[in-house]
């Protein structure tokens, strides 16, 4: 079985600590994950020796978790990927528009996941595809992928993301849209604002204006499907190119939405990681041409 190695160094403040306590309290490894690793051959080791959870760890020890990799059913397909950051645990990719993140019934071989699995094989790597954030096919920008189960479980819900969008009409200053969202009746994808929907809060700031468009910086307090697109449509400022929510295709042929910045604390190194992605030309051109 393929395995993914995750390594921790024991700091001075954990010298003499019980292994189970070290993994649970200091490393934030779940009890379920520890139980599974105890059942695996060489699941938890130190100095190439099995480390029992009742043993004591000491300052400077390298505690290694050999985590089993789930079987990967994604088809490997050669394709171009723009890598913004990569280490043993995380890879961050700048996704172009018109590229789905995961395979679907109608997109089996042209997704970010397909291309990443191919790259793994070329680099003699093996890890399950775990995207921490998801973008619509036609939303461009940063996608964070964990290379192991531990990193994924400790990254979910911790990403601070900033989006950039161009909406129709002029918005000035900053503000908040606080409107619940639910699935539009009779549809499988499109959302609408409704009192009986799920709580959804969007914060925005106007950055630049053209004649009839506004460039916005957006931060989400919640992460509902189509939240940004649905919210700005609800205040009569749909995103340019977003014809599902009332936007015009005159200046761009996809929703003018881009995930432009992500920061988080690395689950293992504890360093703050900040990654940025430039606003694509097709979004910038809206402001340049709408004079």
Instruction: Classify residue 56 by its DSSP letter.
Output: B
**Residue count of the chain:** 291
Rounded to 5°, angle at Cα 105 from 101 and 108: 55
Neighbours of 96 (CB within 10 A): 15
CB neighbours of 49 closer than 8 A, spacing ≥ 6?
none
Q: What are phi and psi of 217, to 5 degrees?
A: -100, 130
Can 196 be counted among the known catalytic residues?
no
Q: State the pairing for strand pair 83-86/90-95.
A: antiparallel
Of 15, 55, 110, 136, catalytic? 136
Which residue, chain included where needed, has tokens 């004649």?
Answer: 211
Using alpha carbons, list the distances in angstroms from residue 35 to 32, 135, 146, 202. 5, 34, 21, 40
Instruction: Classify residue 280 by its DSSP letter.
Output: P
Among 260, 263, 252, 255, residue whose Cα is nearest residue 279: 260
Catalytic residue IDs: 136
């Amino acid at each position: 079985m393929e395995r993914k190695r995750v390594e921790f160094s024991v700091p001075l403040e954990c010298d003499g600590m019980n292994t189970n306590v070290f993994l649970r309290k200091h490393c934030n490894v779940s009890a379920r994950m520890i139980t599974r690793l105890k059942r695996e051959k060489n699941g938890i080791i130190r100095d190439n020796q099995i480390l029992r959870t009742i043993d004591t760890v000491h300052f400077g020890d390298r505690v290694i978790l050999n985590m089993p990799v789930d079987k990967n059913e994604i088809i490997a397909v050669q394709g171009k990927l723009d890598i913004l950051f990569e280490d043993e645990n995380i890879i961050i990719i700048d996704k172009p528009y018109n590229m789905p993140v995961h395979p679907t019934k109608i997109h089996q071989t042209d997704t970010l996941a397909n291309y990443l699995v191919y790259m793994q094989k070329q680099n003699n790597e093996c890890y399950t595809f775990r995207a921490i954030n998801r973008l619509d096919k036609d939303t461009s920008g940063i996608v964070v992928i964990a290379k192991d189960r531990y990193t994924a479980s400790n990254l979910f819900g911790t990403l601070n993301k900033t989006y950039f969008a161009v909406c129709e009409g002029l918005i000035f200053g900053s503000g908040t849209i606080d409107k619940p969202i639910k699935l539009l009746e009779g549809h499988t994808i499109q959302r609408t604002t409704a009192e009986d929907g799920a709580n959804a809060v969007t914060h925005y700031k106007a950055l630049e204006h053209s004649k009839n468009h506004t460039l916005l910086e957006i931060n989400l307090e919640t992460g509902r499907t189509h939240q940004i697109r649905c919210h700005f449509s609800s205040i009569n400022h749909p995103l340019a190119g977003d014809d599902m929510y009332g936007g015009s295709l005159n200046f761009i042929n996809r929703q003018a939405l881009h995930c432009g910045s992500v920061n988080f604390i690395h689950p293992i190194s504890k360093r703050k990681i900040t990654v940025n992605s430039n606003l694509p030309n097709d979004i910038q051109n809206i402001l340049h041409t709408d004079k």
